C-alpha cells in the first residue's frame, strides 16, 4: 500500500508543530487555567515533548502539579477541546486567557477572560453574509467553522 504524499504531509505538519509549538501556544499553561479546568482536583494538559514524532502528550495532573510543574514549561497547554493533543485547543467562554491560546470561535479575550463576541455568528447559525460569521465563512446562509 502506498502512503507517500499523505505520510509526508502529516510529517510536515507534525514537524511544524514541534518547531513552532501548537497554534497560538507560545507560553506555558497558567496556574489560573489549571484551577479553572480542574475536575475532581485533576486537570488534563498537553505536555510539550522534545520528540518530532510526538510533540505533545496528554497528561492528567493534580491542580498543584499543573500549576507548580507546568506553568513554567513553554508549550504546555490545557487540553480543552483537544484530547489527543494535536495543537488545536481553544479556550471556552469564561476561561482565563493570557493570549497564549486562542479563545474558541465566537469568543474573544477581554480583561483576561474569554467572553462571547456579540457581533458575529458562530458555526451553524444563520447569516446573510460571511462578514456576519465569526469565522468569515458562510455556506448557503449558515456560518461555517
Share of the chain above pLDDT 90, in %: 33
Based on the domain organization, do 84 and 122 belong to the same domain? no
Which range is most confident: 28-37, 98-107, 109-118, 125-134? 28-37
For residues 21 and 56, is the Cβ–Cβ distance under 8 A? no
Tell the burial category of 50 from Cβ atoms under 10 Å away from its Cβ (0-12, 13-18, 19+). Answer: exposed
Based on the domain organization, do 21 and 90 belong to the same domain? yes
Residue 26 lies inside a defined structural domain of this protein:
yes
Residue 89 lies inside a defined structural domain of this protein:
yes
Considering its fold, how many domains does the chain have in total?
2
- C-alpha grid cell for residue 126? 444563520
Residue 18 lies inside a defined structural domain of this protein:
yes
Based on the domain organization, do 88 and 125 belong to the same domain? no
Q: Which domain holds residue 129?
A: 117-145
Share of the chain above pLDDT 70, in %: 79
Amino acid at each position: 500500500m502506498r502512503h507517500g504524499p499523505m505520510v509526508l504531509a502529516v510529517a510536515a505538519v507534525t514537524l511544524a508543530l514541534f518547531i513552532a509549538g501548537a497554534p497560538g501556544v507560545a507560553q506555558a499553561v497558567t496556574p489560573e487555567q489549571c484551577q479553572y479546568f480542574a475536575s475532581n482536583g485533576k486537570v488534563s494538559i498537553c505536555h510539550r515533548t522534545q520528540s518530532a514524532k510526538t510533540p505533545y502528550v496528554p497528561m492528567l495532573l493534580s491542580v498543584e502539579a499543573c500549576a507548580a510543574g507546568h506553568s513554567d514549561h513553554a508549550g504546555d497547554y490545557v487540553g480543552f477541546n483537544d484530547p489527543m493533543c494535536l495543537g488545536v485547543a481553544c479556550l471556552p467562554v469564561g476561561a482565563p486567557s493570557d493570549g497564549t491560546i486562542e479563545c474558541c470561535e465566537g469568543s474573544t479575550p477581554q480583561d483576561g477572560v474569554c467572553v462571547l463576541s456579540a457581533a458575529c455568528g458562530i458555526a451553524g447559525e444563520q447569516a446573510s453574509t460571511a462578514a456576519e460569521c465569526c469565522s468569515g465563512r458562510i455556506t448557503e446562509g449558515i456560518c461555517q467553522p
